[in-house]
């Protein structure tokens, strides 16, 4: 199921407010990222913006533990030792946006489809609208201001760039 949501609609206004919050969360995490000399951060699976689960470094820093690797990218997190107390407190206080925040706005509930969990919707923001993608086998009733669109229309809109 694919939906287009106008920016000015009630659901669109909530999604764009959440997008603004996501950007604020990313900026707050980026400040700490730069302070520790990292090139980027990784968050946990349920967090889509903000928070820090690991810092990217080319090599393991002293007193950090490896938390994630993918190809040539390696992420590390400071160990829970006294010298990192302040840093760890700051990381814990970072604001986050979770997948459930988007689900709540569009009225989607996690569910099992076949043998798999569908935990969240896909959401893409454009200048004047959002696109929502939901597994076709899910049980879902859209909000009144969500316009169902075809897969081809969704793909066309998703590939368009804002100017």
- For the cut 90, the answer to whether the pLDDT of residue 46 exceeds it is no
The answer on 104 and 91 residing in a single domain is no
Q: For the chain, what is the mean pLDDT?
A: 92
- For the cut 70, the answer to whether the pLDDT of residue 163 exceeds it is no
Given 71, 96, 121, the domain boundary residue is 96
- Retrieve residue 8's tokens: 């000015």
Say whether 48 sits in a helix, a strand or coil. Answer: strand
**pLDDT tens for residues 55-99?**
999 999 999 999 887 776 899 999 999 999 999 999 999 999 999
Q: d(Cα 97, Cα 106) in Å, to the nearest integer?
A: 15
The answer on 81 and 39 residing in a single domain is yes
């Amino acid at each position: 199921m694919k939906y287009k949501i106008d920016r000015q609609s009630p659901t669109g206004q909530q999604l764009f407010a959440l997008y603004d919050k996501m950007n604020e969360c990313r900026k707050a995490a980026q400040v700490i990222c730069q302070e520790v000399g990292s090139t980027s951060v990784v968050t946990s699976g349920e967090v889509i913006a903000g928070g820090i689960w690991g810092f990217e470094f080319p090599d393991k820093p002293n007193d950090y533990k490896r938390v994630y690797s993918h190809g040539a990218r390696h992420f590390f997190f400071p160990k829970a030792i006294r010298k990192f107390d302040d840093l760890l407190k700051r990381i814990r206080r970072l604001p986050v946006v979770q997948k459930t925040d988007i689900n709540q706005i569009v009225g989607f509930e996690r569910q099992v489809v076949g043998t798999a969990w569908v935990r969240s919707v896909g959401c893409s923001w454009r200048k004047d609208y959002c696109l929502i993608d939901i597994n076709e086998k899910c049980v879902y009733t859209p909000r009144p201001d969500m316009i169902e669109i075809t897969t081809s229309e969704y793909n066309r809109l998703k590939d368009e760039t804002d100017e």
